[in-house]
Amino acid sequence: MATILLVEDEPDLLSVFQIVLEQRGYRVRPARNGKEGLAIASRYLPDLIVTDWNMPEMDGEELCERLRLHPALASVPIAVVSARYPPAEKKYLWSAFLLKPVDVETLHLTVAQLLVGRLSGTSARPPLRDPAPSRWQPVPWRCWP
């Protein structure tokens, strides 16, 4: 099960996104601003981050910049959700951009696409098979009177 950090300052939108993603089988860690989101990301190391761009305390731009500088989080895909287009010169900070209002199906498809790329390398190990049968069979133990 993939873990998604969801950073959104609007409580209603945070709840809707969380419900939609959890119904699709994801573990969601919610955060109300970038500062809280960074603390949660550092603690839980999510597989994907979905963040708003305009937030109090720490906005999406600063959050993305700090995430890209953090060694354990630098490769985590980030989807930015905003009512306004972020600066084009900052495009390197995120993996996907969604313009508000976001259709829940679009959100789900974007999340699924970003996670496929992220998680495809982790399941490369073949499943373990049952051990080969042995020609050495146990000898029944008999007690002699």
Q: Is the pLDDT assigned to residue 78 strictly greater than 80? A: yes
Q: Kindly state the average pLDDT of the residues 15-34.
A: 96
pLDDT in tens, 28-45: 999 999 999 999 999 999
State the average pLDDT for the chain: 85
Domains and CATH numbers, the chain: 3-118 (3.40.50.2300)
Q: What is the pLDDT of residues 107-133, one digit of tens each?
A: 999 999 999 976 665 433 334 344 444
Mean pLDDT of 55-74: 93
| Structure token pair of residue 20 | 């939609």
User: Residue 129: what pLDDT?
Assistant: 43
Q: Residue 143 pLDDT > 70, yes or no?
A: no
Q: DSSP assignment of 21-88, as one string?
A: HHHTT-EEEEESSHHHHHHHHHHH--SEEEEESS-SSS-HHHHHHHHHHSTTTTTS-EEEEESSPPPG
pTM of the predicted model as reported, rounded to 2 decimal places: 0.79
